[in-house]
Amino acid sequence: MDSGSKEVNLLRHVEKDVLIPKMVREKAKELCSDKVEAFSKCCQKSGFLMVIKCREENAALKDCLTDHYNDSTLYEECKQEYLKEREEFRQTGIPSKKRQQKVPNSM
């Protein structure tokens, strides 16, 4: 194994424990969007009584998010996506968000 491929597999603490889990949380919110929407609607209707009236929606949302947070497959997908973005950044020096913004809208 050459040092280049060895370097890719090493993750710093902040990457492993902060950045990748952040990606997992963002994807979990997308995957649970129906539950997020149901909870939000309930809260809007209930006002101050949301704590009491939206228990069921809150529990469903919490269960959905927790299932995704604990999904090792989703973590691995996010890890691979992070490593790809990190490698592209190391090659170009441009963060992926800025690379996406620089693409012209009309060609």
Q: What is the pLDDT of residues 7-41, one digit of tens each?
A: 446 889 999 999 999 999 999 999 999 999 999 99
Query: How many CB atoms sit inside 10 A of residue 78's CB?
Result: 21
| Backbone phi and psi for residue 9, each to the nearest 5 degrees, phi listed first | -80, -15
- Quote the pTM value: 0.72
What is the identity of the amino acid at 29? Answer: K
Residue 66 domain flag: yes
Structurally, the chain folds into a number of domains equal to 1
Residue 87 domain flag: yes
DSSP run (H or E) holding 55: helix 55-69
Structural domain boundaries enclosing 33: 12-98
How confident is the model at residue 100, as a pLDDT? 55
Q: Which two tokens stand for residue 8?
A: 């890719």
Residue 6 domain flag: no
> How large is the C-alpha radius of gyration of the chain?
19
Instruction: Give the Cα separation of 47 and 63 in Å (integer).
Output: 23
Beta strand ranges found along the chain (DSSP E): none
